């Protein structure tokens, strides 16, 4: 099982649908990111980064559903900030 599959399995074990979404308001524009999409984005990184993501996800699961939601909210914000900063024209 690869790391992405393992992350999805962690969610399934807790009864969380991987297509659940979190909405972000960026300058009045709504962006919805699914847990699955966030996992996919982070599992495109280096092996070390994937393992850090998986470890953090497992710790969020230990904090129960609120921890998982906060985890994905934080990870989604980081992805959006990274994407927006890469697209800033100077």
Residue linked to tokens 């690869």: 2
- Please report which confidence band the pLDDT of residue 20 belongs to, taking 50, 70 and 90 as the band edges: very high
Cα dihedral across residues 85, 35, 13, 65: positive or negative: positive
Enclosing H/E stretch for 22: strand 21-26
Domain ranges of the chain: 3-86
For 69, phi then psi, to 5°, come to -65, -45
pTM of the model: 0.85
- Please report which confidence band the pLDDT of residue 9 belongs to, taking 50, 70 and 90 as the band edges: very high
Asked whether the beta carbons of 61 and 14 are under 8 A apart, the reply is yes
């Amino acid at each position: 099982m690869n790391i992405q599959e393992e992350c999805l399995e962690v969610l399934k074990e807790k009864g969380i649908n991987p297509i659940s979404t979190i909405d972000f308001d960026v300058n009045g524009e709504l962006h919805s990111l699914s847990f699955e999409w966030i996992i996919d984005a982070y599992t495109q990184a280096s092996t070390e980064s994937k393992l850090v993501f998986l470890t953090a996800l497992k710790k969020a699961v230990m904090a129960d559903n609120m921890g998982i939601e906060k985890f994905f909210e934080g990870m989604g914000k980081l992805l959006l900030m990274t994407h927006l900063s890469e697209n800033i024209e100077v």
